[in-house]
Chain A
Amino acid sequence: MSVVTLTINDELVSAQEGQTLLSVLQERGIEVPTLCHLDGLSERGGCRLCMVEMEGSGRLQAACVTQVQEGMVVYTHSERLVKYRRMILELLFSERNHVCAVCVMNGNCELQWEAAQIGMDHVRYEYLNPDLPMDASHERFVIDHNRCILCTRCVRVCDEIEGAHVWDVMGRGVNSRVIVDLNQPWGTSQSCTSCGKCVQVCPTGALFSKGATVAEMEKQHNFLRWILDGREKKIWSYENGK
């Protein structure tokens, strides 16, 4: 595999051809916020938080869906980018009811963490306060649509790793919602294997285990690497392991 050289924040960096820009940034310890991206799942390019500036291109690019190219000149933390990331987070907080104080994921939530990192302390947009239900019909898990940010990690993990494709998205635009089978109570699903992968990959308190109360829910994603390395390379490494 050939090596390409690119410039990130005025520093020369070499990377493997075919790598995504985001994976290079992460290897170099350059932190850009992400929400829809998760190592082990296909890329979506939907949250737009990992956008970077690229010299010679008028448009901003999402790092997760951009492949590195020889001679690329990238900036990851310009004033404009930081401002936009903050605005995108504000939009996400305004979209549904993200009330951290009463959330099972308080303290462990990726959305909350990204907001804290960037110093987002208030939302300038009108809270949309949609009237969304909570479904606790599954014997072990709960989905609270109020906390969902439509990153579709649950949809992808169920389809790509578990292979059940229980989840999908219905509707469109701001009325989109993740659904189980024919938009039915989770507990009545016949395709769900109750494996819990969707719960573990969910970045917020939208999916959680029954019994967890405020700030009690913690999630683990490294099972994804464990499964994928096992499936593809027949290697079960206990360092990344379960």
Chain B
Amino acid sequence: MSVKTSPPPRARSQAVREHPSGDPRFNLIDRTLKRFSYQQDALIEVLHTAQETFGFLSDDLLIYVARQLKLPLSWVYGVATFYHFFTLKPQGKHTCIVCMGTACYVKRAAEIVAALQQAFHVEPGGTTADGLLSLSTARCLGSCGLAPVLVLDGEVLGRETPESTLERVRQLLLAEQSDAAPSANGDAMHVTNGGIHEPI
């Protein structure tokens, strides 16, 4: 019979204490590690937590996870690079995800990607040199009725055209330039879940 391990009662008080690394965000990873009793099988779950917490998987983070789960480094690196969800590079301040599912493709989503690529000199999966915009494509966001769909900083926008998208992104970046004070909103955080908010 399987016994599910619930987090130990001390977890909460420990979370308040400072992590040996000095970065309190590691506490969140430790919590996931504990939830899965440090089982090696939980690697993907732990990487999910690490990416949600830090925005991307740095080498330090991968080493930390590998040590905690007692796995070889190359194993962890291999898993982290196999799955599309994990990114090893820091993300731009704003993110634009264009859906390339079949319904969106049939309604010419590729033209939107090409327009963005050309206008902002950024490849899908890449970030502009100034670190302001990350462009990526997704495999069906499941809003096929609104095709073509894109997610701009977590907001789902439907029935877009190349022109309307360019205009939106330009506005966004323009506001960035005129507004010297950065609005640290943790944008990268909610885009990791496909940009779809939990309702209600």
The stretch of A69-77, A96-104, A129-137, A178-186 that contacts the partner chain:
A178-186
Q: By the criterion of a CB under 8 Å from any partner CB, how many residues of chain A are at the interface?
A: 15
B81 CB-CB contact with A under 8 Å: yes
Interface of A is mostly: loop
Nearest CB of A to B86, in Å: 11
Contact of A166 among B59, B63, B74, B81 (CB under 8 A): B74
Q: Is the CB of B74 within 8 A of A182?
A: yes
Smallest Cβ-Cβ distance to B66: which chain A residue: A182
A172 to B83 CA separation, bound complex (whole angstroms): 8
- What number of B residues sit within 8 Å (CB to CB) of A? 11
Looking across the interface, which residue of chain B has its beta carbon closest to that of A167?
Answer: B74
A142-180 vs B, Cβ < 8 Å mask (1 yes, 0 no): 000000000000000000000011111111100000011
A181 contacts B82, C-beta separation under 8 Å = no
Given contacts A182-B59, A182-B62, A182-B63, contact A170 B72 (CB under 8 A): no
- Measured CB to CB, the closest approach of chain A to B16, in angstroms, equals 32
Report Cα–Cα, A214/B120, bound state, in Å.
Answer: 46
Give A159's nearest chain B residue, CB to CB: B72
Given contacts A182-B59, A182-B62, A182-B63, contact A165 B74 (CB under 8 A): yes
A168 touches B74 (CB 8 A): yes
**Contact status A170-B77, CB under 8 Å:** yes
Interface on A for B, CB 8 Å cutoff? Answer: 164-172, 179-183, 191
Show the binding face of B for A, using Cβ within 8 Å.
Answer: 59, 62-63, 72-75, 77-78, 81-82
Besides the contacts A165-B75, A172-B81, A181-B74, what 18 more A-B pairs have beta carbons closer than 8 Å?
A165-B74, A166-B74, A168-B72, A168-B77, A169-B78, A170-B77, A170-B78, A170-B81, A171-B82, A172-B82, A179-B74, A179-B77, A179-B78, A180-B74, A182-B63, A182-B73, A183-B77, A191-B72
